[in-house]
Amino acid sequence: MTQLFLPLCVACLALVFTSAAPPPTTQTAEVAIPDRCDGIEFDAITPDEQGKQLFFKDGFLWKGFRGPAQRVAESFSGIGHVDAAFRMHREDRTEDHDHVYLFQDEMVFRYFNQTLQDGFPKKVEQEFPGVPCHLDAAVECPKGECSADSVLFFKGSEVHHYDVATQTVKKKEWPEVPPCTSVLRWMEHYYCFQGNNFTRFHPVTGLVVGAYPKDARAYFMTCPNFGHGSGDHKLPLCSEVKLDAITSDDAGKTYFFTGPSYMRLDTSRDGKHAFPVTRMWPEVAGGVDAVFSYQDKMYFIKGDQVFIYLSGAHYSLIEGYPKTLQEELGVQGPVDAAFACPGDHTAHIIQGDQMKDVDLSATPRTVTKATTLRHAKVDSALCGPDGLKLFVGSSYYEYTATSELGAGQVERMPSPITPSMMACRRD
């Protein structure tokens, strides 16, 4: 801010000394509201406790990937410019968990629900021993992504890896990661921002995989004349949504698939966004017909082929796959939808108005039961602890058990797919 005000003050003085006219009375130094499509460099990025991503620049703030800037002071009292910011991830300490930390020079401010917490601001070293002040960037790294709940602090070319429970710091240098001016963690991935560019990096090794840097305007904001990248795309109308496949694995990760894209539905803290299917499952190009999860595996059905992936932090195609549907499941393609209920060994394969049950614990796989359904056509199906959903176009039907799906059963009312279920817009 000093740099911005200084020329203005010099100009004012010059005016006073060189002119007989009285100085202007209500001259306030108004800084123009920045436009993030101009290719600006953010000072800091962090999600708030609701998962909305906050982008800071000078005294301004954007909430989310769309919309105009507002003044930081409207949301966060006591602070103007922000050097770095992160949201604490610490499920073992509710008094810290999900709190938002903003850094300014030597001080750290802590907020919850946009309220400055008692005892703050504090000196950075008081709150985070061993961590330098005048930071460039900071980002949370929860256990699972880092070896323990951690915060990565960035200053120049140095990365300070801070363990929140032990309060120990390890200093690292990551040659592949450029000096970050802000860092965004989003959908379990880490993005170092430098100017209007970003580079995705691994939070433990600092390795960069893929073609970087990329222009943030094509991914993390909606800017005219910038193509929509994998991180952001035009939302479809909810009434036009058609789900090719949907599944929920043992770890509770729920994915739906439409055309060449997939979306996670269980990570609403990070918002809902579509990515190319090939980013996670490179061998399944060009969309899928049906997907179901069984034990620690995900079965992708495409044409008359089955791809089986081992689930984990990443998905790996099991050797020997794809195999034919006939060989793997004892049915002929094509398949419209498939599901398996948690804890059950039966795959339910839907083709037109027919549902075939296949016992996954038996070899070879054979159809043990065939049911004629109430629905002539189903796009996708999901079975979870809260029951069964069959998706047909932009609607879905809820059932409590597979025994209710038969043609002779009571008719259900369809429910529309809504924006709260997936990223779509109302008509």
Ligand X SMILES: *[C@@H]1O[C@H](CO)[C@@H](O)[C@H](O)[C@H]1NC(C)=O
The contact set with ligand X (CB under 6 A) reads 113, 194-195, 197, 213
Rounded Cα gap, residues 169 and 152, in angstroms: 9
CB of 178 to ligand X, least distance (A): 7
CB of 120 to ligand X, least distance (A): 17
The upper half-sphere exposure of residue 222, i.e. CA atoms within 13 Å in the direction of its Cβ, equals 10
CB of 195 to ligand X, least distance (A): 3
The CA distances from residue 414 to 392, 398, 402, in Å, are 9, 8, 17
> Taking a C-beta distance cutoff of 8 angstroms, is the pair 54, 48 a contact?
yes
Chain centre to alpha carbon of residue 236? 18
Query: Angle CA(83)–CA(85)–CA(86) in degrees, nearest 5?
Result: 160
Closest C-alpha among 174, 168, 118, 128 to residue 148: 168
CB of 136 to ligand X, least distance (A): 14
CB of 222 to ligand X, least distance (A): 19
Which of residues 217 and 302 has its CB atom nearest to ligand X in the complex? 217
Phi, psi of 140, rounded to the nearest 5 degrees: -70, 150
Which of residues 104 and 197 has its CB atom nearest to ligand X in the complex? 197
Rounded Cα gap, residues 122 and 131, in angstroms: 13
Lookup: tokens for 125: 């070293």
Phi, psi of 190, rounded to the nearest 5 degrees: -120, 130
Which of residues 130 and 213 has its CB atom nearest to ligand X in the complex? 213
CB of 6 to ligand X, least distance (A): 24
Which of residues 51 and 195 has its CB atom nearest to ligand X in the complex? 195
CB count in 10 Å sphere of residue 389: 19
Tokens 């504090």 map to which residue? Answer: 122
CB of 230 to ligand X, least distance (A): 17
The distance in angstroms from the start CA to the end CA of the chain is 44
Rounded Cα gap, residues 315 and 309, in angstroms: 6
Which of residues 46 and 181 has its CB atom nearest to ligand X in the complex? 181
Lookup: tokens for 264: 């996670």
CB of 395 to ligand X, least distance (A): 34
Which of residues 199 and 248 has its CB atom nearest to ligand X in the complex? 199
The CA distances from residue 413 to 399, 416, 420, in Å, are 11, 10, 19
Which of residues 158 and 215 has its CB atom nearest to ligand X in the complex? 215
CB of 213 to ligand X, least distance (A): 5
Amino acid, single-letter form, for residue 165: A
Which of residues 214 and 389 has its CB atom nearest to ligand X in the complex? 214
Which of residues 50 and 366 has its CB atom nearest to ligand X in the complex? 50
Lookup: tokens for 398: 């809820």
Select the residue whose beta carbon is closest to ligand X and give its number: 195
Q: Write the Ramachandran bin of 112: left for phi over 0, alpha for psi from -120 to 50, otherwise beta.
A: beta
Closest C-alpha among 210, 59, 203 to residue 141: 203
